[in-house]
Structure 1
Amino acid sequence: MKNLKHYLSFLFILVLMGCNAKQNELPVDVYETSASGNKLTKITEFSAGNEAVTIQILPDEKYQTITGFGGSFTESSAYLLNQLSPKNRHLILDAYFGSDGAKYSLTRTHINSCDFSLSNYSYAPVAGDMALENFSIKEDQDDIIPMIKAAMELSEDGFKILSSPWTAPPWMKDNKDWKGGKLLPEYYDTWALFFSKYIDAYKSEGIDIWGLTVENEPLGNNSNWESMHYTPEEMVEFVSKHLGPKLKDHSHNVKILGYDQNRDELKEWADIMYKDEESAKYFDGMAIHWYASTYDYMPDVLQYTHDKAPNKLMIQSEACVDAEVPHWNDDAWYWKKEATDWGWDWAPDDQKYLHPKYVPVYRYARDIIGCLNNWVQGWVDWNMVLDTQGGPNWASNWCLAPVIVDPAKDEVYFTPMYYTLAHFSKYIRPGAVRIGFENSDDDLMMTAAQNPDGSIALVILNMKEEAKNMKISLGNRSVDVQINAQALQTVIIPV
């Protein structure tokens, strides 16, 4: 009898320990993309191991609110979609916007033509038309507008659109050319009216514009394709005296983002745009690009800009793997350190270190994580779809895109970059708040955010060639998981 009592007591303790262990186990869903072949694959079994990396989630440490993630509606992408079969066109759009896809929430498009257009065009082609009586978006009605509308039909939560001009019509510029030059002061008010008419025209198509950037790459692009130059002072003058008041008078509630070029000159622009209340009042924030470096996300510059104007937005408005022709059905290439960018060949010697060879997947994942951890609220990729040449592009400025198509064969290739972007866009939703964490291993890059529904998303990048064991803790609960070698993981802690 005594032995039976001991046995029952021991059994009770074991059951109690098991219950406590279960109560203290942190429930998670784990999704991984890896060089070994996972593509946003749900992982349910983990190998046992020692020396686990400890990751502590700190939800009480709150930072910026997330606007969203996504890609861009360009004429090139929209044109290519229209060359595909209805089945493949739907496949791609559903993969980007559908409830089972990447669920893009923040997008961009161009105002007038850009290099990823089929030709040069403007919505106001008639020289001297100061009142813009001949304004028309008919150039967008064959391709871009149908692509946006199809995406809207597939998106359950909707998405924001940020629109950017590459140039005003040549007749408004001092050099009368699509490339380079400046907006003539006598056309400042007409150009401001142009933005208002654009918003109205898209509204009449059932498309709301969330935000505008004043000018794509105001420092220029060496006149390789459409461009128009501003100094920071000129942009402030245009926005504070013309664009801002015009949009307000016409009751357009849209965001105005300044700059819209590389981070290396962001400090100068922040100093001038945010100099005082008068210069800053119509700007809702900054748009930034990553082309100044292939691997340095410039945290000091991002932190400086945030500190300068803590209540303003920072949106990464454009990024792509440039100076490359896409590799077709070759996933391994996107995990190799073979890609280069424009700076590999052209950067001055003192800037070569900013442009090394890189792994495309890492370039995307590192930059998004680095941006999020330094106050950036949104991150937008460039073209959603390109062909096997990396176009069409009238300036022969070939680039990569997450989805590559061969219209002649009606074939589609989802590159590993598509899955990389989906790790963020699908699981970190608009309105999420970035939260704190402690990570014991500097080899792992990570970020964390709490979604509006209360769930927590961790995105973790392992660039090493060996798997890593991790113990993830939230309060007094924890879970042991593993990330494969050369892998990106999203870990979801449900509500």
Structure 2
Amino acid sequence: MILSCQNTQDKLNVEVYETSASGNSLTKLVDFSSDENQEEIIQVNLFPAQKKQTITGFGGAFTESSAYLLNRLTKDKRDTIIQAYFSSEGANYSLTRTHMNSCDFSISQYSYSPVEDDVNLEHFSIKEDKDDLIPMIKDAMKASTDGFKIFASPWTAAPWMKDNNKWVGGKLFPKYYDTWALFFSKYVDAYKAEGIDIWGFTVENEPLGNGNNWESMHYSPDEMTNFVQNHLGPKLEADGHQVKILGYDQNREHLKEWIDSQYKNEAASKYFDGTAIHWYASTYEIFPEELQYAHQKAPNKYLIQTEACVDSQVPVWKDDSWYWKKEATDWGWDWAPEKDKYLHPKYAPVNRYARDIIGCLNNYVDGWVDWNMVLDTKGGPNWFKNWCVAPVIVNPETDEVYFTPLFYTLSHFSKFIRPEAKVIEVENTDKDLLITAAENLDGTIAVVVFNEKENPKTIQLSLGEKNIKIAIQGQAIQTIVVKK
């Protein structure tokens, strides 16, 4: 039973779902009433008439590592994970990513174009994806009622196309620009033949490089703009592929220079449908000025967070409390320059996710995509041993599955804020309480509230003349679904 909010005409009709350090996991609350004796009531006002960006979706990435692990589980456990991510009863993911050629979260290094100097890509083949990756995507498609968008990202071209002839680093030879554009077109056709529609691409994962550690290929902003404007865009158009092209695809602190290049004139911006960003410059700082600049420069283009995870960290197994504690570090804790260390504090994993997604939505980001959906207890497999955390951790040796609090945190957004929803204006009198809201096409409003402090709070949620008081405990995230 849900506490009735329709006994009086001035009360909002809501449902409340909570994930908390005290043990709730996307739990539907029966009693969310507040302590009437509590002195401070936080006023939260919703303004659905003041609409912002349109939501593209929320989700995670199909990687070979995740798909490989699913194939090592029993069918029952595999199905449980797929349903949890993609069914309407689960997280209901609506926007996903995958990699073209291998990446660090692959079992080995490979390319769809392995034959040197195959300029016309006569030997192009996605056979490497057919054992693990494609079956995982197809299973997800079967589980999804609403369907989901999928975009693909290359980490690198085959070494023979690059000026250093290596998997890591280097740049694409200009003489192979047309070959590389053809590669994208052939990929769309190959996946279409498998029954999978590709919605879009990012031009290159992390074009500034990754410290020369795993698969990468470098572009300057103008080099990427040139490739898209004169090669990739025209090739996809000529071949009749109506897929989206997202530029950049790396950290937010350099966003302005890429935005300026992509949208410097009509000819440059024609083929860019939007921009992709990552959070690794800081999983604490949102970089709101950069995000707002990107929106103002191109208000009708996509701005999508395409990758995020708690990196450089081995997952903690079956200990929910760790995900709420200020113990996790990221790559910058050890490796960032001294001047940037303040951007990489120890910070609770749940807080990283909730804070970043809310901050992104409040600064014109329209999609947010996590990295690996499934990893093992080591944070892999990863050929480079670049261990990371995923929302779902598995032990294939014992056929065990652990849904971490990160899974439920992501679900607070993906399940309740659906594609084509409009982010709306919210007025909030407590700067420590993080809040965002979006109105769905069905008229429901999803309000996500994150209380990262330890003390409980009470909000009065108001929509026009109607309102309701709702208690949120310390270290908790709530989604409040406001119904008409």
Fold match (TM-score > 0.5): yes
Shift of 1:20: 10
How far apart in 1 are the matches of 2:7 and 2:445? 22
Q: Secondary structure at the match of 1:441?
A: coil
How far apart in 1 are the matches of 2:331 and 2:426? 35
Runs of 4+ in structure 1 off by over 6 angstroms are: none
CA contact (8 A) 2:34 2:469 kept: no
Q: Secondary structure at the match of 1:260?
A: strand
Q: Specify which of 400, 407, 431 is matched with residue 411 of structure 1.
A: 400
1:22 matched to 2:8: yes
Q: Specify which of 92, 97, 109 is matched with residue 81 of structure 2.
A: 92
Q: Specify which of 264, 267, 270 is matched with residue 275 of structure 1.
A: 264
Deviates more, 1:380-389 or 1:471-480: 471-480
- Aligned residue number for residue 38 of structure 1: 24
- Aligned residue number for residue 461 of structure 1: 450
The one-letter code matched in structure 2 to 1:294 is: T
Aligned residues: 477
Shift of 1:44: 2.1
1:366 matched to 2:355: yes
Q: Specify which of 184, 192, 199 is matched with residue 203 of structure 1.
A: 192
- Aligned residue number for residue 423 of structure 2: 434
How far apart in 2 are the matches of 1:291 and 1:485? 27
How far apart in 2 are the matches of 1:224 and 1:189? 27
Structure 2: any 5+ residue segments left out of the alignment?
none
The one-letter code matched in structure 2 to 1:391 is: G
How far apart in 2 are the matches of 1:63 and 1:305? 14
Shift of 1:21: 6.6
Relative to the length of structure 2, the TM-score reads 0.98
The one-letter code matched in structure 2 to 1:359 is: A
What does the per-residue CA deviation read over 1:438-474, in whole Å, with 9 as the maximum and x for residues that have no partner?
A: 1111110010000010100000000111111111111
How far apart in 2 are the matches of 1:177 and 1:432? 43
CA RMSD after TM alignment: 1.0
How far apart in 2 are the matches of 1:405 and 1:44? 32
How far apart in 2 are the matches of 1:483 and 1:432? 25
Q: Secondary structure at the match of 1:482?
A: strand
How far apart in 1 are the matches of 2:348 and 2:179? 45
What does the per-residue CA deviation read over 1:55-107, in whole Å, with 9 as the maximum and x for residues that have no partner?
A: 11111110000000000000000000000000000000000001210000000
Q: Secondary structure at the match of 1:23?
A: coil
Shift of 1:294: 2.0
How far apart in 2 are the matches of 1:109 and 1:229? 19
How far apart in 1 are the matches of 2:202 and 2:34? 48
- Aligned residue number for residue 128 of structure 1: 117
| Shift in CA distance, 20/264, structure 1 to aligned 2, threshold 3 Å | closer
What does the per-residue CA deviation read over 1:19-61, in whole Å, with 9 as the maximum and x for residues that have no partner?
A: 9971111110000000000000011212423321111111111
How far apart in 2 are the matches of 1:307 and 1:278? 19
State which structure, 1 or 2, has the greater radius of gyration over its C-alpha atoms. Answer: 1
The one-letter code matched in structure 1 to 2:76 is: K
Q: Specify which of 117, 130, 133 is matched with residue 106 of structure 2.
A: 117
More helix by share: 1
The one-letter code matched in structure 2 to 1:71 is: G
The one-letter code matched in structure 2 to 1:89 is: R
The one-letter code matched in structure 2 to 1:339 is: A
1:437-452 equivalence runs, <5 A: 437-452=426-441
What does the per-residue CA deviation read over 1:173-213, in whole Å, with 9 as the maximum and x for residues that have no partner?
A: 00110000000000000000000000000000000000100
- Aligned residue number for residue 310 of structure 1: 299
- Aligned residue number for residue 7 of structure 1: none
- Aligned residue number for residue 420 of structure 1: 409
- Aligned residue number for residue 299 of structure 1: 288
The one-letter code matched in structure 1 to 2:209 is: G
CA contact (8 A) 2:459 2:470 kept: yes
The one-letter code matched in structure 2 to 1:435 is: I
Q: Secondary structure at the match of 1:459?
A: strand
How far apart in 1 are the matches of 2:443 and 2:34? 29
Identical-residue share of aligned pairs (%): 67
1:258 matched to 2:247: yes
- Aligned residue number for residue 285 of structure 1: 274
1:376 matched to 2:365: yes
What does the per-residue CA deviation read over 1:326-369, in whole Å, with 9 as the maximum and x for residues that have no partner?
A: 00000000000000000001111111100000010000000000
- Aligned residue number for residue 48 of structure 1: 35
Relative to the length of structure 1, the TM-score reads 0.95
1:227 matched to 2:213: no
The one-letter code matched in structure 1 to 2:432 is: D
Q: Secondary structure at the match of 2:276?
A: strand
